[in-house]
Amino acid sequence: MKTNQNKNLNDFNLMKYGYPDENGHYGIFGGTFVAETLIEPLTDLRNMYYDLKKDTDFLHELYSEYKNYVGRPTPLYFAERLTEKINGANIFLKREDLCHTGAHKINNTIGQAILAKKMGKTRIIAETGAGQHGVASATVAARLGMECVVFMGEQDIYRQSQNVYRMKLLGAEVVPVTSGSKTLKDALNEALRDWVTNVDNTFYIIGTVAGPSPYPELVRDFQAIIGREVIEQMENIDKKVDALVACVGGGSNAIGLFYPFIDCDSKMYGVEAAGDGLETEKHSAPLNKGKIGVLHGNRTYLLEDENGQIIETHSISAGLDYPGVGPEHALLKDLGRVHYASATDQEALKAFHELSRVEGIIPALETSHAVAYSMKLAAKMKKGENIVINLSGRGDKDLNTVARIEGIEI
């Protein structure tokens, strides 16, 4: 199998696929669409990051945190009973749910927090939807002794009260956002406003592969440890990777899995949240149903109305409930390199239960979208072919949501 043996962040220079360009563009997507006050801090961040990704001390520190604090490498688990039940391709689960804090988010927050420290910043801010990125940010802030402020929509604070309490336990301040739709996109606006105001001492940890350049690139690079480990783990058991599947909200866990495979011939599937169905207005699937536009610093596919106003999205999983998507996914869609499918709330719920019962692994509702599509895909693939699902997070945070749907009060 032809693979790209990237062991370090700077090894990606060897890839044929050369995005983004020097201005942070992914074809027509990406870029730097921000007010002037943010240009200087973004330029500083880009310069610092480009220096550090070649710096052995930085890489040593990062990989040491991955190993000793995050708990990497995470296992690649062969889901034997699920494979038997589906009776198609072999299904492997990349167990990002076993990372510290229970999801892949910390791969990125630890990297950005080390960057922040090197830049001499003392205060970290972050936006969060479901609370996973907020928890991962609060965690690394505690780890590195930095102040942390997390912006969270009022709606989400109500939906995810347990994560709010986790962040507070970790010493973070959680600021309720009451503007707009009171969800993730508004939390992002508020974090950007805070950053503009406190730019001298503050580092903004963006949680996904979106935002102005260089964020999509550096978040991707920190998450790409996922795919690099999969390459090695599959080689160790002498298996070919035929298909990769991951859920896509902003798209950080998906890019993390896909990116090291881009030059290979493995098929890739990103799964968006279809909510009540793509034919309804209640979904979060910009790659399937969106138009090209500009939001939160980058050009990408967006869910918007006929006047270019961003519309409210819906998904059972708060982590996929976002009207945009990372610009690199927009490019990979247009290049035809990744196929972007979708799964409805109902399909995700069914997969949530299925994986819990058959494999003893309770997946996050976000992840359940990838599981749902993978089960359909595996059934159509040949026996002996291999499919790797990014099991991006564990489902403990969703127990209240699922119980409520089933009429149970915990």
Residues at the interface with another protein (CB under 8 A): 23, 31-37, 39-41, 179-180, 185-186, 188-189, 192-193, 196-197, 199-200, 291-297, 302, 304, 306-311
Q: Which is nearer to another protein, 26 or 258 (CB)?
A: 26
Q: Give yes or no: 179 in active site.
A: no
| CA-to-CA dists, residue 329 to 83, 144, 248, angstroms | 28, 32, 9
Q: Give yes or no: 382 in active site.
A: no
Distance CA 101, CA 364 (A): 12
Q: Shortest gap between Cβ of 296 and another protein (angstroms)?
A: 7
Q: Shortest gap between Cβ of 141 and another protein (angstroms)?
A: 22
Angle, CA of 183, 187 and 190, to the nearest 5°: 140
CB 227 within 8 A of CB 74: no
Q: Which is nearer to another protein, 210 or 361 (CB)?
A: 210
Of the candidates 388, 389, 370, 281, the one whose C-alpha atom is nearest the C-alpha of residue 317 is 370
Q: Give yes or no: 376 in active site.
A: no
Q: Shortest gap between Cβ of 211 and another protein (angstroms)?
A: 11
Which string of b and e fits 170-179 if b means at least 16 CB within 10 Å? bebebbbbee
User: What are phi and psi for residue 78, nearest 5 degrees?
Assistant: -85, 115
Q: Which is nearer to another protein, 314 or 337 (CB)?
A: 314
The residue with tokens 């997390």 is: 150
| CA-to-CA dists, residue 137 to 131, 141, 151, 343, 383, angstroms | 10, 6, 11, 28, 41
Q: Shortest gap between Cβ of 210 and another protein (angstroms)?
A: 13
| CA-to-CA dists, residue 251 to 6, 30, 92, 384, 410, angstroms | 21, 14, 20, 29, 31
Q: Which is nearer to another protein, 185 or 267 (CB)?
A: 185
Catalytic position from the list 213, 272, 392, 397:
392
Q: Which is nearer to another protein, 68 or 201 (CB)?
A: 201
CB atoms within 10 A of CB 5: 11
Q: Shortest gap between Cβ of 324 and another protein (angstroms)?
A: 10
Catalytic position from the list 53, 94, 105, 121:
105
Catalytic position from the list 65, 96, 127, 347:
127
Positions annotated as catalytic residues are: 105, 127, 392
